[in-house]
Structures are given as C-alpha cells and as structure tokens.
C-alpha cells in the first residue's frame, strides 16, 4: 500500500497530467477542427464567418508555379531550380513564414546517451541535446533517436516534431523526462505515461525505418509572447522586442529547428542522412512542408491535415482562412507580420498551397487528411496537389494522375500523394500503414 504522502504526490501528478491532456485535446478541438459527427464545426471563429458549403467557395485563379512574372513559361528543370523556385521561396519568406537565420556557428551537440538497447533489444536508443548557442542556459532541444538493433548499415529515418516532450511520446522508461509548456505558459514536467498520440517505434523499426523525435516547444513556445523564451528571442537585435515584419514566426522557427536536427543526423553513422523523412500534424504539418521547402536535405514529407497556411488553397473560401489564422486572438505569431496584410486580400498573395508543394518537388510528399475535417479543407489540399503535379511532371516525376477527388479510404501514392481517412483532424492508427507503404516505396532502399 502507498504511504499517504506518496499517494498525495501521485494524485497531484495524475491531476496535472489530466489537466495537460485535457487542455491539449480542447485546444485541438477549438483551433484545429477536431470535430466529430455530433459536434459540427463553428460557423464563426474570432468573429469571422466560416464557409463549409462547396457551392459558396467562389471563383479564383491560382498563381502558376511554372509561369514567370513576365508571363513566360518555365520550360526546363534548370529554369525551375535556378530562377523560378528561388523566386517562389523568397515570396514565402517575405509574405508568409518570414526570413530565418542559417545554422548557428556556435551550435553544439551533447550526445548524453550514446547507444542503449531499448524495446526489448529491438532498438538502439541515442539521446542528444542540441545547444543553439554557446550559452547552454539558452534555447536548446532534446533529440531522441532509435535505429534497428540488427541494422548492418545506416538506415532511413522518420523525423517527427511533436506536441509533447520525447518522454511522453514513446513507451521507453529510459528516455530523459522532458518539460512542456502548459496553458499558463509555464514549463512543467512532462507526463510520464501520456496516452495521446504516441509513436509506435517498434512498428517502424520492423520495416527498416529509424525514428527521431523532437518537442516543438523546445525550439519555440506555441503562444503569443513566447518569443522571449525561444530561439526567435536569441536573434533579436539590441532594442528589438519582436521580429521585423518579414522575419520568422513560430512555424519558421520550428522548421529551422528541424534543420538543426538534420545537422546532427548528418553526423550519426547509423542514420542514412540522404533518406530522412519528415512527418507532422496540423500546425506541425505546415511546419514540415515549410522545412522541406527551405531545406532540400529532407528526402520525403508526410503532412497531416496541414490546412490553411499549409497545403490547402487559401484562395478557396472554405474552412479556415488567412483572416482566421492571423486574427489577434489566434495565431498571428506563427507567421511573419506581413502575412496579415492578405487576411482580406488573399487574391494579392503571390503564393498559395500549390506553390508550397511545388517547392518540395521532385521529392515525394504525401498529404493525409480526414473527410470530416472541414476546417482544414481536405478538398483544397487535393486541388493544390493536382496543380503542383505540373512541377513534378516537369522534373520527370508523376503527379496525382487524376483531378477527381478520391473518396475516403482510397490512397493515391504517386510521388505527390494524397490520402483521406474516414474521420476528423489528425491521424488514426490505420494511417500509419499508408505512411509506411509510402516510405517503403520512396525512402527505403531495395
């Protein structure tokens, strides 16, 4: 029997854990569109009406990724990579995600777990603290890596940014217990046995795919005013209290952190750094798309329900819009300040979801969504992929191969792929079968 003090401590820990999990779930419900059949999505968010009627989408014209500003067409891969692609990428930096710095000259890696058997001997675990500056009390992130124990050569790997610290995302008691940001914007110990959204590491390892995890809150907090605690604050100039109008927001900061994880993975002799994939959900779906768009070292991307600001078409008046994203009470801090200029003038935005996907070409990208996730506009993501297919074809790869929106449960697994499950926002366990099939096709060497 537990002593009363131990019981009291356990109860407090349980209540803290329940509060964190409940807050996370409620946050996803409110801000990400996780609505069930009995809970229809709201028709107004932040005082702004929301349209869920396909008949009311309205007409629009997409910017053409293969058309120069002067009206001439991109006709060769050389023109794409040397001229058009850099131009589109610059627009994204200027008007949506913001400009970000490069690799810090004084970044350091502390490999505090050099290789420990895990998961009953099926895996070798490594843990690394990535220090973003010489000041080790400043922003840093913990990187957790698993590779198959029986691997005879470097393995391909899936890197996932997560909403919880690493210790909460896997069933491995040997992982360093992290800290996370709570709703009061305080760093609190991570729950030891979170049941929300864990990664099935052994399943991926059994298919020859390594796994790496980072907690996005280690890089930059996900709330307004979090800049003083994260990596963005480290780069503020003297007298500056917030980034400039064209400087990075939180999504660009998280993407920057993934590139720093890749910097380490390139030094790990058990990882095939030429075959590292990214996978992220919701705002982290936007993050992995932008990370791959700005850093061509990532070989493959899986974006789950990235929605507005990600793969979905902003010019479609359906579900979440730029106005909803950038409303003062919601997520303007996730983007550069310039993005707000297009909240009610989306037709003036020089880019759209089709162009974000085109920046990843010719590398494989899979868009996963849910047919009930109206907030994220699953059809808008599909249409973006259809249009981006022209860039994939120019570069010798296959587009979606159809302009007919497929029903839930029917995957399209071409170089640019699309899969919609029967359900809402985020992933369900069966989605991972599709993810593994996609990675086996394009990431794992035969």
Q: How far is CA 107 from the centre of its chain?
A: 23
3-state SS assignment for residue 181: strand
Of 361, 353, 339, 368, whose CA–CA distance to 415 is shortest? 361
Set 282, 304, 306, 358: catalytic member: 282
Q: In which element (H, E) is residue 160 found?
A: strand 155-162
3-state SS assignment for residue 156: strand
Size of the chain in residues? 446
Distance CA(326)–CA(340), nearest Å, equals 6
Q: With 0.85 as the threshold, say if the pTM is over it.
A: yes
Distance CA(245)–CA(247), nearest Å, equals 6
Contacts of 380 (CB under 8 A, 6+ apart): 311, 312, 313, 316, 318, 319, 353
**pLDDT computed for residue 192 by the predictor:** 77
Of 243, 219, 234, whose CA–CA distance to 133 is shortest? 234
User: Which residue reads 């913990």 in tokens?
Assistant: 142
Write the DSSP symbol of residue 236.
P
Distance CA(177)–CA(76), nearest Å, equals 50
Count of other CB atoms within 10 angstroms of residue 69: 8
Set 275, 324, 421, 425: catalytic member: 425
Average pLDDT by stretches of 10, the chain with 446 residues: 38 40 37 46 93 96 97 98 98 98 97 98 98 94 98 97 96 96 94 76 97 98 95 94 96 98 98 98 98 98 98 97 97 98 97 98 98 97 98 97 97 98 94 98 85
β-pair partners for 145: 126, 212
C-alpha distances in Å from residue 223, one per residue of 220, 226, 246, 256, 367: 9, 5, 19, 17, 26
47 φψ region: left (φ > 0), alpha (ψ -120 to 50), beta (else):
left
**pLDDT computed for residue 197 by the predictor:** 74
Q: In which element (H, E) is residue 31 found?
A: helix 4-32
**Helical axes 283-294 vs 85-95, angle rounded to 10°:** 140
Radius of gyration of the chain (CA): 21
**Helical axes 283-294 vs 250-265, angle rounded to 10°:** 60
Q: Are 85 and 394 in contact (CB under 8 A)?
A: no
For residue 425, indicate whether it is catalytic: yes
Residue 390: exposure state from Cβ atoms within 10 A (0-12, 13-18, ≥19): middle
Q: How far is CA 325 from the centre of its chain?
A: 16
For residue 282, indicate whether it is catalytic: yes
Q: How far is CA 320 from the centre of its chain?
A: 17
Report residue 29 as tokens.
């419900």
3-state SS assignment for residue 422: coil
């Amino acid at each position: 029997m537990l002593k009363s003090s131990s019981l009291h401590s356990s109860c407090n820990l349980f209540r803290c854990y329940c509060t964190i999990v409940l807050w996370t779930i409620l946050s996803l419900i409110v801000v990400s569109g996780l609505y069930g059949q009995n809970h229809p999505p709201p028709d107004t968010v932040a005082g702004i009406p929301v349209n869920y009627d396909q008949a009311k989408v309205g007409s629009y014209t997409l910017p053409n990724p293969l058309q120069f500003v002067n009206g001439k067409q991109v006709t060769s891969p050389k023109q794409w990579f040397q001229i058009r692609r850099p131009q589109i990428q610059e627009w994204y930096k200027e008007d949506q995600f913001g400009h970000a710095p490069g690799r810090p000259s004084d970044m350091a890696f502390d490999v505090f777990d050099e290789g420990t058997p895990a998961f009953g001997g099926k895996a070798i675990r490594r843990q690394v603290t990535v220090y973003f500056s010489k000041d080790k009390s400043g922003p840093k992130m913990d990187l957790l890596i698993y590779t198959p124990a029986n691997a005879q050569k470097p393995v391909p790997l899936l890197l996932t940014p997560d909403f919880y610290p690493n210790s909460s995302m896997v069933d491995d008691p040997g992982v360093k217990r992290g800290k996370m940001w709570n709703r009061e914007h305080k760093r609190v110990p991570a729950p030891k046995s979170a049941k929300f959204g864990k990664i099935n590491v052994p399943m991926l390892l059994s298919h020859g795919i390594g796994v790496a995890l980072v907690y996005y809150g280690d890089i930059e907090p996900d709330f307004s005013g979090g800049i003083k605690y994260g990596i963005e604050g480290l780069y503020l100039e003297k007298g500056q209290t917030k980034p400039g109008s064209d400087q990075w927001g939180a999504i660009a900061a998280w993407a920057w952190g993934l590139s720093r994880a890749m910097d380490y993975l390139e030094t790990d002799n058990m990882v095939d750094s030429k075959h590292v994939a990214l996978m992220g959900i919701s705002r982290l779906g936007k993050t992995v798309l932008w990370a791959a768009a700005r850093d061509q070292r990532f070989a493959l991307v899986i974006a789950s329900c990235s929605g507005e600001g990600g793969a979905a078409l902003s010019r479609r008046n359906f579900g979440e819009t730029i106005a909803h994203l950038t409303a003062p009470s919601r997520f303007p801090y996730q983007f550069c300040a310039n993005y707000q200029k297009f909240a009610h003038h989306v037709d003036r935005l020089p880019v759209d979801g089709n162009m974000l996907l085109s920046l990843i070409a010719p590398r494989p990208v899979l868009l996963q969504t849910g047919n009930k996730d109206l907030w994220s506009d699953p059809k808008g993501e599909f249409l973006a992929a259809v249009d981006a297919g022209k860039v994939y074809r120019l570069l010798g790869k296959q587009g979606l191969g159809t302009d007919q929106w497929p029903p839930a449960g029917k995957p399209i697994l071409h170089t640019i792929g699309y899969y919609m499950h029967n359900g809402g926002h985020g992933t369900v366990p069966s989605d991972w079968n599709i993810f593994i099939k996609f990675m086996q096709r394009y990431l794992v060497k035969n």
